[in-house]
């Protein structure tokens, strides 16, 4: 992000919007008690007068954005859809693989299909031959 976003407690006429949209599509929502200055300048300083001196403070950019809420996995671990979609040992042995072995591969043959309880209770069980 090439913009410098400075959060300050000063009132400014530049802070009219309630959200800021960056060039890459990220959005930052400005809180009601927060004031924001947006600048493309690489060096931005704030002026602070005191009784016997003046101080300039460098304002550092921030990359604050609104983080989207994580979407829950539509297929719960151990469900038929999850068992079908899971690729065992794709990244070595993981916690997901352990869950797959416990919940999906009930007959211990290393595959999810006919003979596994969850598969046999699903609509795909019709593909299993009775015999």
> Has residue 66 been placed in a domain?
no
Instruction: Give DSSP secondary structure letters for 36-97.
Output: EEEE--S-EEEEEE-SS-EEEEEEPP----PPPPPPPPSS-TTSHHHHHH--TTBTBS-HHH
Q: Which residues of the chain have pLDDT under 50?
A: 1-2, 6-17
Provide the whole-model pTM.
Answer: 0.43
49 in the same domain as 89:
no
Number of domains in the chain: 2
> Has residue 19 been placed in a domain?
yes
> Has residue 130 been placed in a domain?
no
- Residue 26 sits in which domain range? 4-59
pLDDT score recorded for residue 71: 57
pLDDT score recorded for residue 50: 95
pLDDT score recorded for residue 67: 74
pLDDT score recorded for residue 41: 80
> Has residue 106 been placed in a domain?
yes
13 in the same domain as 55:
yes
pLDDT score recorded for residue 92: 86
pLDDT score recorded for residue 130: 59
């Amino acid at each position: 992000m090439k913009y410098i976003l400075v959060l300050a407690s000063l009132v400014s006429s530049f802070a009219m919007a309630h959200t800021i949209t960056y060039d890459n599509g990220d959005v930052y929502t400005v809180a009601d008690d927060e004031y924001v200055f947006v600048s493309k300048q690489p060096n931005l300083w704030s002026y602070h007068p005191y009784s016997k001196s003046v101080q300039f403070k460098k304002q550092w950019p921030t990359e604050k954005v609104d983080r989207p809420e994580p979407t829950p996995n539509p297929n719960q671990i151990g469900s038929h859809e999850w068992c079908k979609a899971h690729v065992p040992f794709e990244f070595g042995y993981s916690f997901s693989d352990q869950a797959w072995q416990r919940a999906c591969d009930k007959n211990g043959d290393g595959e999810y299909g006919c003979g596994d309880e969850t598969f046999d209770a699903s609509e795909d069980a019709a593909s299993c031959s009775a015999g």
